Amino acid sequence: MDKRALKDLLYEQVARIGKAVSSPKRLEILELLAQGEKTVETLTTELSIDIKLTSAHLKALKEARLVSARREGKYMVYQLSGPDVAGLWVKLREVAEEHLLELRLALDQMVADPAKLTTLNRQTLMEHARLGNVVVIDVRPPAEYAVGHLPFARSMPVDEIEQRLAELPADKTIVAYCRGPFCLFSEEAFQLLNARGFRVAKLLDGVSEWQAAGLPLAADISE
């Protein structure tokens, strides 16, 4: 193989990753699978598309070796092929935020009031949570919390908050987080708790952002 053909082959192989992540729905699949493995049926519900289209997206991601699958009874269960794939999603999003004004404007609409966001940096938030000065709640589904969550966070899925208000202290700030900056669960939690008179803030990080910053999840350290 001559040098030009070899270079073309190298770039072609890397381009396989680019092609695989060129679909918005495939990017969403990567974010969802970064929370833990999921069946095709679960992904279909989350994506609000039909199961044939979900399967086609998963096939493209699998061909690029970004996801893998195993059979569990009559279900196919998918997972990321490695933690670096979750990091790839975070880096892609960060680059897009840095360079795409349209994305920044869309994010500004999601966070119309900056006062909703916690002012604590990651390390300080973790220390305040450890000391019990703030209460961090993970408002994702319980199965995602079980796979990995921020240190000292307690599981309180958004659809359970209304029934579990008595578990939250009225004299401390509640910090809610979900799957990352594009996830709306924490906004729902904020609106609900704010309406009930709690001091509440949102954290834009999800577990992928936390890991990408080099910080441990609860599964990695003792709580």
d(CA 37, CA 93): 21
| Residue 21 structure tokens | 């992540």
Q: What is the DSSP string of 153-221?
A: -EE--GGGGGGGGGGS-TTSEEEEE-SSTT--HHHHHHHHHHHTT--EEE----HHHHHHTTPPPGGGS
End-to-end alpha carbon distance in the chain: 55
| Residue 112 structure tokens | 């119309």
Residue positions counted in the chain: 223
The structure tokens 């072609």 sit at 12
Catalytic site residue from 156, 175, 178, 203: 178
Burial profile 159-170: b = 16 or more Cβ within 10 angstroms, e = fewer: eebeeeeeebee
Catalytic site residue 183? no
Q: What is the DSSP string of 112-163?
A: S-GGGB--S-HHHHHHHHHHTSEEEEE-S-HHHHHH---TT-EE--GGGGGG
202 in Cβ contact with 190 (< 8 Å):
yes
Which residues does the annotation mark as catalytic?
Answer: 178
